[in-house]
Amino acid sequence: MADQLERRDFLKIVGAGSAALALPGCLATGAGRKRKPNIIYILADDLGYGDLGCYGQETIATPNIDRLATGGMRFTDHYAGSTVCAPSRCTLLTGLHTGHCRIRGNARLPLEPDDVTVAEVLKSAGYTTALIGKWGLGEEASTGVPNRQGFDYFFGYLNQRHAHNYYPEFLFRNEERVQLRNKITKPGKFGEGVAEEKVEYSHDLFADEALRFVEAKREEPFFLYLALTIPHANNEARRKGMEVPSHEPYADEDWPDAQKGHAAMITRMDTDIGRLLDKLEALGIDEETLVLFSSDNGPHREGGADPEFFDSNGPLRGIKRDLYEGGIRVPFVARWPGVIEPGSVSGHQSAFWDVLPTLADVAGARPPEGLDGISFLPALRGRDAEQKTHDHLYWEFHERGSKQAVRLGDWKGVRFVNDDRFELYNLKKDPSETTDLADAHADVVARMSNILTTSRTENEHWPLKKKQG
């Protein structure tokens, strides 16, 4: 991997001079003025590939996310950065996969000053940047807090355990705590716990805050990273793990409460995404805004939820914490009226580390050198002949013994370091990863083994190691 630019050098290069760069995504407005498109990136938490109607879900209602897909493009082969929260978000923000990025697991390590985020890149190109929702890449007063990583405005959770609790006693606005009216029984170190007085539901606060931000910044280009916590469980709430104010519209269904909660959370999120789309239209900036939606990893088996109940991973094998497809392949839809063809579908193989270079391309900004990602803006525009492709995609994961995975065209390999086992699947013929072909294709295994060795840098916090005990 090429050396990354130092942050100070990067900002010097692209800061004041960014206006002179080519602006492929600029939109014509009155008096010949060029306006850069607004960008809204919406991220769900633990939403499975099969949890949306546009990806085959038949029970949970998601009409507004389906509306995004109908009015834009649905990707069939898009991947999260990891199979759990923090590393997935790190790859999204920095454009580096888990073989190179700073945070490769759910340990509480912050981003450092020399990490360059997509927010910094867009800010250097004249965007007002905001994060509303869950962060997970730096604790209070650390170098990793959003306002020290390129975001002009932040409202939400810093710590991912705190974000388990949908009725917290406090949230953060920029670097200050904002007290809420909820009361927690025996709060943990980061504010996680069980609410005994439930007054303010954090997701509702985030949805309202997003509407206010869009309205306030409608006259200037903005980047909104809306990192919602739905449908993550509250792992500290035990049997009440799927926290939602109401099970409507599923309250009368003959389902376990956890499944009612799971479905109600997703539909509640979908309704608020609909409110956001309606706001863009009401403000007259719908055609000036690129909206993207995805999930940080596959579906979970937490808080009483059962991913098989709604077939949350669709045809894919595995869930959260697996490097099989169900743990890392995620829904991804994009809508940009006048640019993205309505109702289009892309099989382009892409991943979270492609988001930074893509949004830089959209904004006419220059990304830092040495990224693992490539821009998929040509794919969004339907210009497949111009779209660069990855030689391979790489992941590593460090819970319960290290694991690695690689996608190489139609081939998918998974290595289990603990017992030095390697599995190989042909995703074109076997998307559910049911038949291990490693013994029959030693040549492919050898090539992948070389990729697994060369696609990572050593890191003292993330050594490839076997499970202890």
Cα–Cα distance for residue pair 178/160, rounded to 1 Å: 17
Could you read off the pLDDT of 239-277 as tens digits, one per residue? Answer: 567 999 999 999 999 999 999 999 999 999 999 999 999
Answer whether residue 461 shows pLDDT above 90: yes
Burial (CB count <10 Å: 0-12, 13-18, 19+), residue 430: middle
Cα–Cα dist 158/155, whole Å: 9
Q: Tell me the CA distances in angstroms from 466 to 107, 219, 402, 453, one per residue in order.
A: 18, 54, 6, 16
Minimum mean pLDDT range among 25-34, 107-116, 260-269, 349-358: 25-34
Which residue shows structure tokens 């789309």? 277
Please give the pLDDT value at position 35. 84
> Which pLDDT belongs to residue 150?
98
* Separation CA 163–CA 172 (nearest Å): 11
Residue of 233, 455, 412 lying closest to 318 (CA atoms): 412
Return phi, psi of residue 258, to 5°.
Answer: -60, -35
Binned at pLDDT 50, 70 and 90, residue 238 comes out as low
Class level of CATH domain 394-454: alpha beta
Which range, of 21-25, 390-394, 405-409, 447-451, averages the lowest pLDDT? 21-25
DSSP-H helix ranges across 226-330: 257-282, 325-328
Candidates 286, 263, 264; CA nearest to 276 is 286
Three-class SS of residue 346? strand
The residues with which 194 forms a beta bridge, in sequence order, are 185
Per-domain residue ranges of the chain = 36-390, 394-454
Phi, psi angles (nearest 5°) of residue 292? -125, 145
**In terms of Cα–Cα distance, which of 18, 103, 156 is closest to 352?**
103
Instruction: Indicate if the pLDDT at residue 15 is higher than 80.
Output: no
Residue 133 bridge partners (DSSP)? 156, 227
User: Looking at residue 186, what is its pLDDT?
Assistant: 83
Count the neighbouring beta carbons within 10 Å of the beta carbon of residue 331: 25
Instruction: Classify burial at 383, counting beta carbons within 10 Å of its beta carbon; exposed 0-12, middle 13-18, buried 19 or more.
Output: exposed
What residues pair up with 156 in beta bridges, in sequence order?
A: 133, 172
Q: Taking 90 as the threshold, does the pLDDT of residue 4 lie above it?
A: no
Query: What DSSP string describes 205-250?
Result: HHHHHHHHHHHHTTTS-EEEEEE--TT---TTSGGG-S--S--TTS
Q: How confident is the model at residue 8 (pLDDT cuts 50, 70, 90)?
A: very low
Q: How many angstroms from the chain centroid is the CA of residue 245? A: 25
How far, CA to CA in Å, does 12 sit from each of 121, 267, 361?
11, 44, 19
Structural contact between residues 48 and 56, judged by C-beta atoms closer than 8 angstroms: no
- 195: which strand partners? 184
DSSP state, residue 78: E
For 363-394, how does the pLDDT look when each residue is reduced to its tens digit (9 = 90+)?
999 999 999 999 999 999 999 999 999 999 99
**What percent of the chain stands above pLDDT 70?**
91
Predicted local distance difference test score (pLDDT) of residue 22: 36
pLDDT at residue 82, as a whole number: 98
132-174, pLDDT tens digit by residue? 999 999 999 999 999 999 999 999 999 999 999 999 999 999 9
Residues 79 and 132: their CA atoms lie apart, in Å, by: 22
Predicted confidence at residue 21, as pLDDT, reads: 32
Output 130 or 23, whichever has higher pLDDT: 130
Residues contacting 161, CB < 8 A, separation 6+: 188, 189, 190, 192, 236
Question: Residue 212 — φ and ψ, nearest 5°?
Answer: -65, -40
pLDDT in tens, 18-75: 332 334 455 543 334 478 999 999 999 999 999 999 999 999 999 999 999 999 999 9
Q: Which CATH number applies to 36-390? A: 3.40.720.10
Asked whether residue 17 carries a pLDDT value surpassing 60, the answer given is: no
Q: Which residue(s) pair with 442 in the sheet? A: none
Domains 36-390 and 394-454 share a fold: no
Q: What's the average model confidence in pLDDT over 118-124?
A: 98
> What is the rounded (10 degree) CA torsion for 266, 64, 311, 414?
-90
